[in-house]
Amino acid sequence: MSHRIVFLDRETIAPEVNVRRPAFDHDWEEFGRTSPDQVVERLKGATIAITNKAPLREETLRQLPDLKMIAVAATGTDVIDLAWCKANGITVSNIRGYAVNTVPEHTFALILALSRNVIGYRQDVINGEWQKSEQFCFFTHPISDLSGKRLGILGEGALGQSVANLARAFGMEPVFAAHKGSTGLGPLYTPWDEVIETADIFTLHCPLLPSTRGMIGLDEFKRMKDSAIIVNTARGGLIVEEDLATALEQGMIRGAAIDVISAEPPADDHPFFKLLEKPNFILTPHVAWASHEAIQTLSDQMIDNVENYVAGNPTNVVGDF
């Protein structure tokens, strides 16, 4: 059997990354990007779809009777109607373990930038403040060491564990927050309320689920230390974004660094845009995952998943963790 493979959004993988062709008889077609209203037309006759962010919902999948396998070019599968796929025999495979270096390193780049006020001091130099100071240094922004600080990690998977290892190297105390509203999860976890009230720095590494959507909001910000920093390199919907803007504007917390937003790219009136001039706020465009090494690993694993499915030994099947 010859397979027709369609990659809906090749531009979500950096152009310098090699996407090898599967080692079996197939027809390959790829598009830089695909809007929701183009998905059905482009996948007609396809047996295998590759997608990163192009959505495949029930109303779309019903019109694609030839589709047998979806290879997600990411770990998150919220763009796929998994229940419909399971009920109709469509195998969905995702990517795992590729970001254990790139996301934690980006996380700590953001933590360090905020803790040491790198953005604020850089802007001061640009503005000529160093020359005006008439001394070898000046103290316009507070600087804090990481050693001895408590790092609250929300998400205990591979990324959270990797972040914890880096934290220990800095002399920090990493603690894994118990799931919000849950108790009795075991010795790995510190109670949710305790983490919210005692952590110096928070970092999010959990999936976006109904139970985690909006898990950090105004109530949590009010209970955090006013010296706390929060970093999100996971999913935008985990934080109530309007509440984060309020928390920063009112000084409830010291700083925030965000790599993910609930709708990407964000609209021009997104509340984060009014924070961009603040030295204690950093916004990066969903690139924590995007080191060259990580994306090449992702691409290779994506094609491995396709080849293994065709060989009758599907890998990384969603729901088979």
Instruction: Choose, from 286, 292, 293, 307, the residue flagged as catalytic.
Output: 286
Residue 150 near residue 172 (C-beta atoms within 8 A): yes
Strands 26-30 and 48-51: unpaired
* Contact by Cβ (8 Å): 114, 257: yes
Is residue 7 within 8 A of residue 285, CB to CB? The reply is: no
Question: In DSSP terms, which residues pair with 283 in a beta bridge?
Answer: 258
- Predicted confidence at residue 76, as pLDDT, reads 85
**Residuewise pLDDT in 10s, the chain (321 residues):** 789 999 999 999 999 999 999 999 999 999 999 999 999 999 999 999 999 999 999 999 999 999 999 999 998 898 999 999 999 999 999 999 999 999 999 999 999 999 999 999 999 999 999 999 989 999 999 999 999 999 999 999 999 999 999 999 999 999 999 999 887 778 899 999 999 999 999 999 998 889 999 999 999 999 999 999 999 999 999 999 999 999 999 999 999 999 999 999 999 999 999 999 999 999 999 999 999 999 999 999 999 999 999 999 999 999 754
Rounded Cα distance, 159 and 176, in Å: 12
The rounded distance, in Å, linking the Cα atoms of 102 and 164 is: 14
d(Cα 195, Cα 187) in Å, to the nearest integer? 14
Q: Per the residue annotation, which of 122, 264, 292, 293 is the catalytic one?
A: 264
Tell me, yes or no, if 197 is annotated catalytic.
no
Please indicate whether residue 235 is annotated as part of the active site: yes
Virtual CA dihedral for 109, 111, 112, 118, nearest 10 degrees? 90
Map residue 242 onto helix, strand or coil. Answer: helix
Active-site residue flag, 33: no
Question: Of 42, 205, 235, 254, which residue is the catalytic one?
Answer: 235
The answer to whether the peptide bond before residue 266 is cis (omega within 30 degrees of 0) is no
Please state whether the predicted TM-score (pTM) of the whole model is above 0.75: yes
Q: What pLDDT sits at residue 321?
A: 40
Scan for tokens 């909001």, then name that residue.
217
186 Cβ contact partners less than 8 Å away, ≥ 6 residues apart: none
| Cα distance between residue 151 and residue 202, in whole Å | 6
Quote the CA–CA distance of 61 and 119 in Å, as a whole number.
46
- Ordered domains of the chain (ranges, CATH): 3-98+292-310 (3.40.50.720), 102-283 (3.40.50.720)
Q: Among 227, 272, 195, 223, which Cα is nearest to 117's?
A: 227
Output the pLDDT for position 320.
56
